[in-house]
């Protein structure tokens, strides 16, 4: 699109010659012979004003000044072209008065045209820059997060509309102030403010983002500060962003309260389940006391012990900070001591020890493991040390190379009888332990009888992790 030039000169011959040169180069030319005409026509979409100084009503210096002081015309470049004001002082006066160029007559067409094109290019570039700046500011203002740009001293140099709304301030109350003056209404920055932490941090950390959750009134914010680093590696500005997370925070707090209430309810259910099991165990004990047959009493005692083992798992869940998981280490340790106390009459000289690592599993993994360990321990206490023989039983909990759960029950007793087979064992305990590990948990169980008996239990990660 062709550019429009306003040519202002009271000399008809000079105005004609300059206009002809401009038109021959593709410019559209509007003409004026007085300062008053120039000020009126400058509002007609002009790209450049070529302005003589010696005008009959208002001199060119004053016309230029008025053009630059008017919001409608201040962005139009002004080129003084004069045949009378030729001194260096005149040129200085013209340029300091706001003119963008100063040429004197006579002038060659090539010099005039190159100057005109340069000034119009500058105007187009400035318009493009202003358009980009407006677009950038509109985009900046459309961001829902509150953002401001700080200089290296923490002074606000730019901000978006959300930041202004959050601060509840006008432009005069924001620019040039420290962020904490605007956002916290304090002369000193609060200790928990991320900006204070940012500027107080040592130099190696000052180039990294600082992020902090803060509360302002009834609102919660994620506040962050990022350095703007130049190509040379120096920090020029800091971008301070505040994101309103009140809805998210409220939802989180609601969920946390609901989860806590759920945990309390679950713990109460575990507590009641444990109490009910203990009642059942007490009833079995009362019934066993009425029986005369030793074998019948032993059967009821085994059932009572199994109920206590399950009740102990519920007790551990009740005591746990996370009611979904049982600390297997603590559970098996207490279980080992409990079983020893129950069967101590058969093995009063037997020592039971436990070694383990922190391992957490759900209750549907813990109870079968506990019942299996109970059977192995009970069997060892009753049969590994006949006639009051002294001995030792070790229960060990560990993790394998593939992160599987490993449990070993080791005794130094008399070992398994020759020709022993679990399938042919008349007692229920060992087959039950095998069934719990292999069928219910999908694990492996085996034993070896050398200077006592060692039972090995292994549950692969892909099996128990589905329950953890």
Q: What is the mean pLDDT of residues 239-254?
A: 83
Tokens representing residue 11 in the block: 């000399």
Pick the CATH number of 325-468 from 1.10.1040.10, 3.40.50.300, 3.40.640.10, 3.30.565.10: 3.30.565.10
Model confidence pLDDT, tens digit, residues 271-309: 566 566 566 666 666 656 666 666 666 666 667 667 766
Tokens representing residue 384 in the block: 């590994």
Model confidence pLDDT, tens digit, residues 398-408: 998 888 999 99
Assigned CATH for 146-244? 3.30.450.20
Whole-angstrom distance, CA of residue 88 vs CA of residue 84: 12
Residue 245 contacts residue 211 (beta carbons within 8 Å): no
Whole-angstrom distance, CA of residue 287 vs CA of residue 284: 5
Residue 384 has pLDDT above 60, yes or no: yes
Q: How many CB atoms lie within 10 A of CB 393?
A: 26
From the number of C-beta atoms within 10 Å of its C-beta (0-12, 13-18, 19+), residue 280 rates as: middle
Which fold is adopted by the domain 4-140?
A: Rossmann fold (3.40.50)
Where are the chain's structural domains? 4-140, 146-244, 254-323, 325-468
Model confidence pLDDT, tens digit, residues 10-40: 999 999 999 999 999 999 999 999 999 999 9
What integer pLDDT is reported at residue 91 of this predicted model? Answer: 94
* CA–centroid distance for 276 within its chain: 45
| Portion of the chain with pLDDT greater than 70, in percent | 75
Model confidence pLDDT, tens digit, residues 34-73: 999 999 999 998 999 999 999 999 999 999 999 999 989 9
Sign of the Cα torsion 319, 323, 327, 328 reads: positive
Q: What is the mean pLDDT of residues 127-133?
A: 84
What value does the mean pLDDT of the chain take?
Answer: 81
Model confidence pLDDT, tens digit, residues 354-367: 999 988 888 788 88
From the CA atom positions of the chain, what is the Rg in Å?
46
Give the highest mean pLDDT range of 87-91, 213-217, 223-227, 412-416: 87-91
Phi, psi angle pair for 68, to nearest 5°: -75, -20
Whole-angstrom distance, CA of residue 355 vs CA of residue 237: 58
For residue 314, give Cα distances in angstroms to 188, 261, 318, 327, 441: 54, 18, 6, 11, 19
* Order of strands across the sheet that contains 444-449: 350-355, 391-399, 405-411, 453-459, 444-449
Confidence band, pLDDT 50/70/90 cuts, at residue 468: very low
Residue 381 contacts residue 374 (beta carbons within 8 Å): no
What integer pLDDT is reported at residue 432 of this predicted model? Answer: 82
Model confidence pLDDT, tens digit, residues 171-194: 567 888 877 777 664 444 556 565
Residue 98 has pLDDT above 80, yes or no: yes
Whole-angstrom distance, CA of residue 235 vs CA of residue 228: 6
User: What is the pairing mode between strands 210-216 and 219-229?
Assistant: antiparallel
Max Cα–Cα distance, the chain, nearest Å: 142
Residue 288 contacts residue 342 (beta carbons within 8 Å): no
CB-based contacts of 121: which residues, under 8 Å, 6+ apart? none
What integer pLDDT is reported at residue 458 of this predicted model? Answer: 94
Residue in 168, 212, 171 with CA at minimum distance from that of residue 190: 212
User: What is the pairing mode between strands 453-459 and 444-449?
Assistant: antiparallel
Between helix 109-142 and helix 12-24 the angle, nearest 10°, is 70
For residue 160, give Cα distances in angstroms to 44, 139, 149, 154: 34, 9, 9, 16
pTM, rounded to two decimals: 0.45
Confidence band, pLDDT 50/70/90 cuts, at residue 454: very high
What integer pLDDT is reported at residue 467 of this predicted model? Answer: 47
Q: How many CB atoms lie within 10 A of CB 80?
A: 26
Residue in 182, 177, 143 with CA at minimum distance from that of residue 160: 143
């Amino acid at each position: 699109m062709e550019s429009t030039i306003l040519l202002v000169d009271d000399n008809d011959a000079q105005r004609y010659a300059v206009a002809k040169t401009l038109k021959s180069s593709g410019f559209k030319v509007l003409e004026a012979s007085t300062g008053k005409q120039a000020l009126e026509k400058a509002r007609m979409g002009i790209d450049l004003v070529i302005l003589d100084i010696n005008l009959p009503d208002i001199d060119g210096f004053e016309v230029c000044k008025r053009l630059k002081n008017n919001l409608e015309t201040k962005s139009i470049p002004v080129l003084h072209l004069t045949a009378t004001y030729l001194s260096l002082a005149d040129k200085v006066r013209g340029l300091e008065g706001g003119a963008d160029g100063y040429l004197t007559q006579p002038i060659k067409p090539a010099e005039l045209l190159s100057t005109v094109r340069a000034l119009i290019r500058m105007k187009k570039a400035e318009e493009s820059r202003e358009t980009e700046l407006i677009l950038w500011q509109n985009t900046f203002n459309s961001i829902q997060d509150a953002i401001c740009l700080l200089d290296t001293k923490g002074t606000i140099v730019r901000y978006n509309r959300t930041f202004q709304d959050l601060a509840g301030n006008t432009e005069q109350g924001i620019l040039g102030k420290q962020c904490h003056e605007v956002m916290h209404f304090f002369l000193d920055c609060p200790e928990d403010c991320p900006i204070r932490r940012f500027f107080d941090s040592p130099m190696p950390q000052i180039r990294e983002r600082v992020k902090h959750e803060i509360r302002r009134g009834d609102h919660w914010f994620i506040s962050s500060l990022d350095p703007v680093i130049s190509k040379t590696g120096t920090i020029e500005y800091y971008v301070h962003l505040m994101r309103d997370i009140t809805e998210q925070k409220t939802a989180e707090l609601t969920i946390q309260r609901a989860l806590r209430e759920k945990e309390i309810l679950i713990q109460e259910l575990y507590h009641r389940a444990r109490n009910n099991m203990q009642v059942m165990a007490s009833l079995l004990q009362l019934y066993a006391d009425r029986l005369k047959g030793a074998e019948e009493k032993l059967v009821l005692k085994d059932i009572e012990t199994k109920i206590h083992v399950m009740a102990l798992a519920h007790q551990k869940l009740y005591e746990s900070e996370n009611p979904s998981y049982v600390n297997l280490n603590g559970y098996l340790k207490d279980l080992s001591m409990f079983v020893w106390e129950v069967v101590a009459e058969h093995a009063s000289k037997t020592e039971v020890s436990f070694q383990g690592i922190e391992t957490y599993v759900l209750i549907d993994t813990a109870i079968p493991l506990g019942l299996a360990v109970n059977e192995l321990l009970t069997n060892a206490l009753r049969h590994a040390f006949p006639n009051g023989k002294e001995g030792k039983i070790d229960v060990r909990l560990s993790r394998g190379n593939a992160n599987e759960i490993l449990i070993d029950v080791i005794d130094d007793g008399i070992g398994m009888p020759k020709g022993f087979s679990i399938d042919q064992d008349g007692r229920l305990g060992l087959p039950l332990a095998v069934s719990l590990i292999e069928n219910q948990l999908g694990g492996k169980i085996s034993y070896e009888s050398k200077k006592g008996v060692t039972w090995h239990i292994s549950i692969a990660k892909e099996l128990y992790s589905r329950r953890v």
